[in-house]
A and B are shown apart, each in its own frame.
Chain A
Amino acid sequence: MRAFTVHTGVVAPMDRPNIDTDMIIPKQFLKSIKRSGFGPNLFDELRYLDEGKPDADNSGRPLNPDFVLNQPRYAGASVLLARENFGCGSSREHAPWALEDFGFRAVIAPSFADIFFNNCFKNGLLPIILPESVVDGLFKAVESSEGYQLTVDLDKQVILTPDGQDIAFDVDPFRKHCLLNGLDDIGLTLQDADDIRAYEEKRQQSAPWLFNAGA
């Protein structure tokens, strides 16, 4: 998993509550055999004017000009500003996969759905909960100034605004540790790599046939 330390990026505002995982990545794309490549179909139904099909080429599809991510001023956005209960619906891990694949590194909202919130951490995406009033203020700031950027400093647990404000946020210490160091479950297990190797060596002595390459 990609580590998250300090990230600065353009902010895109998704001004509607209860964005569910089916909106984030519609079900027809779950047939995919991959967990990358969902970016072009992120928010598919909001983003395009026609119906999205798995494995189709998305480059020629008609874009919905009103959709926020299609507006040039938000090009390259990597911080998503959202409303309450973001990520509700099914438990599909495809939702954070799609956000991450599109290029988002952090999502800021007043509240998140539980499973989605957990899934984000497993995939290098930082979900940040801020009070409603603060989120509201950010929405106004983003809309009034083109190219609005935020800097998220996970270690210090603050968001820096362009006008020099510091916004503090909470994060579970264990998850913070994992994210700062880019550790997913696998990363954590790999911290015990020496133990695993020691086990293997011992086992190779007592049961060498377990390590035969086979026919």
Chain B
Amino acid sequence: MAGKTLYDKLWEQHVVKERDDGTALIYIDRQLLHEVTSPQAFEGLRIAGRQPWRLTANLATPDHNVSTDASERAGGIDGIQDPVSRIQVKTLDDNCNAFGITQFDMKDKRQGIVHVVGPEQGATLPGMTIVCGDSHTATHGAVAALAHGIGTSEVEHVLATQCLIQRKMKNLLIKVDGELGPAITGKDVVLHVTGVIGTAGGTGYAMEFGGSAIRSMSMEGRMSMCNMAIEAGARVGMVAFDDITAEYVKGRPFAPKDDQWDMAVAAWKELVSDEDAVFDKVVEIKAEEIKPQVTWGTSPEMVTTIDGTVPALEDAKDDVERSAFTRAYEYMGLTAGQKITDIQLDRVFIGSCTNSRIEDLRQAAEVAKGRKVAGTIKQAMVVPGSGLVKEQAESEGLDKIFLEAGFEWREPGCSMCLAMNADKLGAGEHCASTSNRNFEGRQGYGGRTHLVSPAMAAAAAIAGHFVDVREF
């Protein structure tokens, strides 16, 4: 019998019951909640007179709507200026209080983007099933967990039953062997993968990142990578358990301790795909070939390298892609053949659940140190992923480096990743962004997003246009 993949193992460990119609009842170990997709789920519980199945399985924090401006933030929930945002944050607060769910509220320094907070607290652990009403939940798969986004009715279903009705996915292995070049991060790897397999390449699959390049990658890098599995179509992204995972998890507030720790690590060592496991699809990538990535268009697969150019219409593979290219040139205000390094930028955003962890900020600060943001840049903002990341960065003096270079140093939250708060791009503005989606209007109506790694974003802020951080 063939061996099992990491996904097979995680799935099997969580089957409560197989059903006749090919679905299975899957147990959920952890649900993360935020203010946007939870209100109707709580309301549903109330209407039906139900209680959460297991309170301690849930952890909540507001992130999408909170202001990143220190003075607005000082007013707490009542200080939020946009009424719709205020109501959503307030509702999360009320619901958590009413039902007794642990919340890191706006004033708690542990508050932050759910996908930063979960791993940081050890609330998302190896071997867990993890869900959240947010498509970037795949992030947590970096700790060898089975994590994916769900809709509001499923949020309610998990609250009430601690289970989901699921159908098993297929197995996809992204195998990155070799050694990544200097300044090449998880972000570059995943953008490269998206370019290779396309935004639908992973649809229907659980995506595992493996190979020697991944084995030596930091947890932060792995999280950036898994975070964007969904951008390549896969709801699930995962990395097998190893010493780097153990090292990262150890000592975190929710992590097992003492005897339990030893017991857990023994169990977690199984969380790897067996040597003889069979994947439905394998994509092999040579680590040495990955260069710093920059998206030029309005879909994450419209990506090229820093020494590349905006592709020509002839490079499109079919009519559908040709028309997508045409529309993207127009929306992005770019022409075919234009050099990526010639794209002039208006704003720079370093943050989001993809790239707002301490290592991301260190990489950006290293580039920014002793330099100045170009005069042509209207705004360069750094938004730490959580209050604890912010605190850590400040203790290392990163905030000073950014401020001296002319960056803004903000309060934690989703911020300009999706522009649900006041941080937005103006129409036509080009932004070097460390977030995960470059869709039309994502960062503000008419805004033009280019996805890059934190170091690339910092270098772009200083140069005023994209530059190769390896030569910077």
Q: Which residues of A contact B (CB under 8 A)?
A: 1, 31, 33-36, 93, 184-186, 189-190, 192-193, 195-196, 199-200, 203, 206-215
The interface bits of chain B over 249-270 (1 if a CB of A lies within 8 angstroms of the residue's CB, else 0) are 0000111100011011001000
Q: Is the CB of A185 within 8 A of B157?
A: yes
Q: Which of B82-101 contact A (CB under 8 A)?
A: 84, 87-88, 91
Q: Report if B102 contacts A (CB, 8 A).
A: yes
Contact A212 to B254, CB < 8 A, known contacts A189-B163, A190-B161, A192-B16? yes
Q: CA–CA, A158 to B237, complex, Å?
A: 51
Enumerate 30 A-B pairs (CB-CB under 8 Å) in ascending A order. Answer: A31-B84, A33-B39, A33-B43, A33-B87, A33-B88, A33-B91, A34-B40, A35-B40, A35-B47, A36-B43, A185-B157, A185-B165, A186-B50, A186-B156, A189-B157, A192-B16, A195-B16, A195-B25, A196-B16, A196-B161, A196-B162, A196-B163, A199-B16, A200-B54, A200-B162, A207-B267, A209-B263, A210-B29, A214-B123, A215-B121
Query: Which of the residues B43, B156, B253 comes within 8 Å of A34, measured between beta carbons?
Result: B43
Write out the residue numbers on chain A whose beta carbons fall within 8 Å of the beta carbon of B456.
Answer: none
Q: Report if B323 contacts A (CB, 8 A).
A: no
Contact A214 to B48, CB < 8 A, known contacts A31-B84, A196-B163? no
- Besides A196-B25, A199-B16, A209-B264, 6 more A-B contacts (Cβ < 8 Å) are A33-B88, A93-B153, A186-B160, A189-B157, A189-B160, A196-B162
Instruction: Report the 3 A-B pairs with minimum CB-CB distance, sorted nearest first.
Output: A215-B253, A209-B256, A33-B39
Q: Report if B17 contacts A (CB, 8 A).
A: yes
Q: Report if B457 contacts A (CB, 8 A).
A: no
A103 to chain B, nearest CB (A): 14
Q: Report if B272 contacts A (CB, 8 A).
A: no
Write out the residue numbers on chain A whose beta carbons fall within 8 Å of the beta carbon of B157.
Answer: 185-186, 189
With an 8 Å Cβ cutoff, the count of chain B residues facing the other chain is 44
Q: CA–CA, A31 to B85, complex, Å?
A: 10
A202 to chain B, nearest CB (A): 10
Contact A208 to B16, CB < 8 A, known contacts A33-B39, A186-B161? no
Q: CA–CA, A33 to B253, complex, Å?
A: 32
Q: Give how many A-B residue pairs fall within 8 Å (CB-CB).
A: 91
Query: Which of the residues B43, B48, B264 comes within 8 Å of A186, measured between beta carbons?
Result: B48
Write out the residue numbers on chain B whose beta carbons fall within 8 Å of the beta carbon of A185.
Answer: 153, 157, 165
A167 to chain B, nearest CB (A): 30
Q: Report if B146 contacts A (CB, 8 A).
A: no
Write out the residue numbers on chain A whose beta carbons fall within 8 Å of the beta carbon of B84.
Answer: 31
Write out the residue numbers on chain B whose beta carbons fall within 8 Å of the beta carbon of A209.
Answer: 125, 255-256, 260-261, 263-264
Write out the residue numbers on chain B whose beta carbons fall within 8 Å of the beta carbon of A192.
Answer: 16-17, 25, 163
B7 to chain A, nearest CB (A): 18
Query: Which of the residues B16, B25, B88, B253 comes within 8 Å of A214, measured between beta carbons?
Result: B253
Write out the residue numbers on chain A whose beta carbons fall within 8 Å of the beta carbon of B47.
Answer: 35-36
Write out the residue numbers on chain A whose beta carbons fall within 8 Å of the beta carbon of B160.
Answer: 186, 189-190
A25 to chain B, nearest CB (A): 14
Chain B residue, CB-CB nearest to A198: B16
Write out the residue numbers on chain A whose beta carbons fall within 8 Å of the beta carbon of B91.
Answer: 33
The interface bits of chain B over 6-50 (1 if a CB of A lies within 8 angstroms of the residue's CB, else 0) are 000000000011000000010101000000000110011011101
Q: Is the CB of A214 within 8 A of B40?
A: no
Chain B residue, CB-CB nearest to A1: B48
Q: Is the CB of B121 within 8 A of A207?
A: no
Most buried by B among A33, A195, A211: A33
